[in-house]
Amino acid sequence: MSDLLRAGYRECARLTRRHGTTYYWGAAILPRTQRRQVYTVYALCRLADDIIDVADLDAVGRGRELDRFQDRFNAALNGPCDDPVLAAVADTVIRRSIDRECFDRFFGAMRMDLTRSSYRTWDDLCGYMEGSAAVIGEMMLPILEPTSRRAREPARALGLAFQLTNFLRDVGEDLDRGRIYLPQEDLERFDADPAERRVTPGWRRLMAYEVDRNRELYARARQGIAMLPPASARCVATAQVLYARILERIEARGYDVFSGRAVVPTAAKAATAGRILLIGPPRIAVEPREAA
């Protein structure tokens, strides 16, 4: 491996540890090669998301920066690259034969954030999450080496579940950026207005409804753990358990996502990863590998 690639993989790990601790501790269970490849996918998505959130650029400027970033990424996939992070991402994509169309969908969703600040229905929101979340599960799947072709839909459900948890946790932060990632029809149904930043009875009913919806997604995703080899199953189980605990923290705060962030302490994340590493995913029967 070249010095450039080593530096790129190290930087991807650093970015994941700093900004995506749940991903970091989940992937820590994986063998070294898979672990660092998971970090590259997270790093690419994080860097693109950071461009969308640059405060001192307008939507046009952010769109141009995103175009440049995507162009550099595509160039890295097709030839030499002097950017360590993009070189590491491209190395992962090529080695794992990740479908490049996944990245087109991802960047398309990022561009939606430049022009849309809210979504009328759950189906509308899912249209956005298709490219910003479900597709991340598809990107990760080749790295996790599933034993069944049926693992794709649970992987997509897990991507959706993770992002919905983020939306519920980050309502206040998203408001600061002028965005609302909760269906307008649900807000109206429960007479809840996040712009008020108050935990009203309607707000609590809304959040309870969305938390239940989120847990249904996790239940769908959990079926895929049995379709993964042991190390990958432990990785995904760790991430699922840790993200589910964010929902528990939200509930424990009485659905107050305005005055502070619902977080799982780092020590608890490390302990969960260690426990699952030792005893395996909870209540999962591993399916036999399918014939090629």
CATH (domain of 242):
1.10.600.10
What pLDDT sits at residue 291? 44
Any domain includes 137: yes
Residue 285 lies in a domain: no
Residue 47 included in any domain: yes
| pLDDT tens for the chain, residues 1 to 292 | 899 999 999 999 999 999 988 888 888 889 999 999 999 999 999 999 999 988 788 999 999 999 999 999 999 999 999 999 999 999 999 999 999 999 999 999 999 999 999 999 999 999 999 999 999 999 999 999 999 999 999 999 999 999 999 999 999 999 999 999 999 999 999 999 999 999 999 999 999 999 999 999 999 999 999 999 999 998 898 888 888 899 999 999 999 999 988 877 667 666 766 666 665 655 543 344 454 3
In degrees rounded to 5, what are phi and psi of residue 148? -140, 140
Number of structural domains, the chain?
Answer: 1
pLDDT for 282: 55
In this prediction, residue 238 carries a pLDDT of: 87
In a domain, 287, yes or no: no
Residues 227, 223: Cα–Cα separation, whole Å: 8
For residue 289, tell me if it sits in a domain: no
- In terms of residue numbers, what domain contains 166? 3-279
Distances (CA, A) of 246 to 48, 147, 251, 272: 24, 29, 9, 13
pTM: 0.90
CA 66 – CA 60 distance, rounded (Å): 10
* Whether 224 contacts 268, CB under 8 Å: no
Which residues, including other chains, have CB under 8 Å from residue 146's CB and lie 6 or more apart? 155, 224, 227, 228, 232
